[in-house]
């Protein structure tokens, strides 16, 4: 999910590193060109390593922060079935965070180091999770639209050149696609429900539609990502290509629900066979990315609080483990 990291300014990269060995670089690129995988112990250019560290950890952070907007409705889920499925879904997201941190750890930084980057505000996560969830219908909209948009990004990542990331993505994609269908099923239920439920569904679409389109990142003409990610087969489709695929898949789904997309300029182009959308307000995207979205501060604060409140538990587990190995060593000595 959530690969907005690719849109960071590549000029910020450290340019002072020595040029990589040309022969190694050629072998590396040959592996990628042959659609084989780069594995953790293989030689890789520093820039490839840093791009992946950033992208995979941002993806992991997004899963973890993404638990919050849905967690907001967990204790108010309107039926026991919905309560159980929402709890299981949020649990899956924690699981995705775990696989992704594990994949990112193979690149040489610990999970703690990545988490510190999140908690200090240095690392980013997907902008979409800085929007509030105001009604139950948002649980449907997040599954249908946010997970739906994420899948568009993630399916190509199953073929990413970096082996541990690609393998993690295969499992994540299966679960995300289940979540997407669950979310859509919530929307179907609401859209066929009482007038109040239908209004709730429409309101959720109204609020989430544009922020979801922004999840794919800036338009190609404004995107700062270098050709490297494409050459390295980390990114296989451009932001606009993925956004278009998403729109083409989603409009018929929304129409089936009898809902209206909040874009008066939305039109179907018979010649191209694609839906065309109105102008995206990129100033809003920039504001949210810069930290001034509706919930940026609350989301980070909640994570910092959970981390701080759990510190004594983690300390206890470490202290107990140390005591136990001490006792085992002592009893071993006594036995000898």
Positions that interact with another protein (CB under 8 A): 64, 67-68, 71, 74-84, 87-88, 90-91, 94-95, 97-98, 101, 136, 186, 189, 193-194, 196-197, 302, 305-306, 309-317, 319-320, 323
Q: Measured between alpha carbons, how far is 210 from 160 in angstroms, rounded to an integer?
A: 28
The smaller minimum CB distance to another protein, of residues 6 and 186, is found at 186
Rounded least distance, CB 328 to another protein, Å: 14
Q: How far apart are CA 280 and CA 169, in angstroms?
A: 29
Would you say 63 or 147 has its CB closer to another protein? Answer: 63
Of 271 and 311, the one with the shorter C-beta distance to another protein is 311
Q: Choose between 146 and 234: whose C-beta lies nearer to another protein.
A: 146
| Nearest residue (CB) to another protein, 8 versus 87 | 87
Question: Residue 101 or residue 162: which is nearer to another protein going by CB?
Answer: 101
29 Cβ contact list (under 8 Å, min separation 6):
231
CB of residue 306 vs another protein: minimum separation in angstroms? 5
Min CB(112)–another protein separation in Å: 11
Q: What is the 3-state secondary structure (H, E, C) of 225-262?
A: CCCHHHHCCCCCCCHHHHHHHHHHHHHHHHHHCCCCCC
Instruction: Give least dist CB 313 to another protein, A.
Output: 4
H helices present in 75-147, as ranges: 80-105, 111-119, 137-141
**Sign of the CA dihedral with 19 first, then 21, 24, and 26 last:** positive
- Closest approach of Cβ 168 to another protein, in Å? 15
Q: How far apart are the first and last CA of the chain?
A: 54
321: buried, middle or exposed (CB in 10 Å: 19+, 13-18, 0-12)? Answer: exposed
Q: How far is the CB of 69 from another protein (least distance, A)?
A: 10
Nearest to another protein of 219, 305 (CB atom)? 305
Beta strands in 256-304 (DSSP E): 267-269, 274-276
Helix (H/G/I), strand (E/B), else coil: 43? coil
Element (H, E) at 221: none
CB of 58 to another protein, least distance (A): 16
Residue with tokens 């690719």: 6
User: What does DSSP assign to residue 36?
Assistant: P
């Amino acid at each position: 999910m959530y690969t907005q990291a690719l849109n960071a300014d590549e000029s910020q990269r450290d340019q002072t590193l020595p040029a990589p060995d040309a022969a190694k670089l050629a072998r590396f690129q040959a592996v990628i060109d042959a659609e084989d995988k780069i594995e953790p112990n293989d030689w890789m250019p520093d820039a490839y390593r840093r791009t992946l560290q950033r992208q995979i950890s941002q993806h992991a952070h997004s899963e973890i922060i993404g638990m919050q907007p849905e967690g907001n409705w967990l204790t108010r889920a309107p039926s026991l079935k919905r309560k159980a499925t929402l709890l299981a879904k949020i649990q899956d997201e924690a699981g995705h965070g775990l696989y992704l941190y594990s994949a990112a750890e193979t690149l040489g930084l610990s999970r703690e180091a990545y988490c510190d980057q999140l908690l200090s505000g240095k690392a980013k996560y997907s902008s979409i999770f800085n929007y509030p969830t105001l009604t139950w219908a948002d649980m449907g909209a997040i599954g249908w639209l946010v997970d739906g948009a994420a899948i568009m990004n993630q399916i190509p990542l199953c073929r990413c050149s970096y082996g541990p990331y690609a393998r993690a993505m295969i499992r994540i994609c299966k679960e995300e696609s289940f979540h997407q269908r669950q979310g859509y099923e919530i929307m179907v239920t609401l859209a066929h429900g009482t007038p109040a439920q239908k209004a709730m569904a429409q309101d959720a679409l109204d609020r989430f539609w544009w922020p979801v389109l922004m999840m794919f990142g800036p338009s190609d003409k404004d995107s700062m990502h270098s050709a490297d990610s494409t050459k390295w087969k980390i990114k296989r489709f451009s932001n606009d290509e993925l956004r278009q695929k998403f729109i083409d898949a989603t409009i018929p789904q929304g129409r089936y629900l009898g809902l209206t997309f909040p874009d008066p300029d939305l039109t179907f182009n018979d010649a191209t066979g694609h839906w065309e959308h109105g102008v995206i307000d990129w100033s809003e995207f920039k504001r949210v990315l810069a930290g001034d979205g509706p919930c940026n501060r609350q989301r980070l604060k909640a994570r910092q609080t959970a981390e701080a409140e759990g510190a004594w538990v983690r300390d206890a587990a470490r202290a107990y483990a140390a005591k136990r190995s001490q006792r085992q060593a002592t009893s071993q000595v006594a036995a000898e």
